[in-house]
Structure 1
Amino acid sequence: MNNYESFTDQQLIVLMKQGNHAAFNEIYKRHSPKVFYQVNQMLRDQEAAKDLVQELFITIWTKARNIKEDTRLGGYLYIAAQNRVFKLIQQGKLKDDYLQSLAEFTAEMSFDASQPHDERELQALIDMEINKLPAKMKQVFELSRKEHLSYHEIAQQLDISDNTVRKQVSNALKILRDKLAPHAPEAMIFMMLLRRG
């Protein structure tokens, strides 16, 4: 019987792509606790984090053929988990306090040295695109991002509804994602947009 604990991630990926359940189980055992911790830090909701991690690993198994054999599995899983969290945000399935938790979490993170774009360069691009937003949308977005006000506080300050604030922030994020997509991975863009100014 193979001792999969001694296998490298790359060896396990090769076996998983061949349909080896034991190799997948080792990948899950090795990486799921860290991925769960990272997702839970972002969501601050253990049940939602468990569900997301389970779905992520089911997808890893069912779409194993799409994973390159030389993939750095830890980084791959981290980015995949982040993308799922961001998708929940896009779909409006997270509460405002989750967004605040995510902003606090990403502010503490440092980018992997392997990222293709310099953080300062991307931040300059983001600032340039923010300045191009329609005036009211820019004002709402900057109150959220730079002043760290809640949607309710912004609504009170600008004498508009909470829903209008939520829609303006959502629209701003969509515009910025679309504009910045050619310049960096989506996960990196989200981290820059959601981090504390």
Structure 2
Amino acid sequence: MVEEVITKDKFEKLFREQYPKLCAFANTFLKDIQASEDVVHDILFKLWENRETLKIDISVEAYLYRAVRNKSLNVIRHIEVKEQYKSYNEEAINEASQNESDTMESSELDLKIRESIDSMPEKRKEIFQLSRFDGLKYAEISKKLNISVKTVENQMSSALKYLRTELTGFFTILILFFLKNF
């Protein structure tokens, strides 16, 4: 096929005849009138801008439809990449926020536990710490402190009741804390 030369008159006629059709064609891909018009404007602008150096071996109309199709598909790919990036960023932000929130809750819990343990009577506090933090069994605590196993059991029972009362708002986290350290 012979290469067509695009004159100003030919371009204006082409624009009037093809612009609405090309926009409708682009809209079948993009489902967005404004984006479709932008695609067609870009294609027609480049056609006019490069009219002297552009070599079109097919009809100008076929060239325009192919160019609109390709540009529309590129826009869709670009939108998909932006959405994936946005989704990835939102997930990363949510995860960081959740980790920060968990860390804050954990810090608050640690502080509240320490305060609660520190406010226990001295002997009860010592028995509790030997059991929960040092990992000693009741018999070992009994032997170490020269008290009966029954006293250790009673003091531990009292310590746990006290902590349940003090840490009511953190009860679920408290359970996890004790399971982790038990």
TM-score over 0.5 (shorter chain): no
Greater helix share, 1 or 2? 2
Whichever of the two has the greater Rg, that structure is: 2
TM-score (ref. length: structure 2):
0.41
TM-score (ref. length: structure 1):
0.38
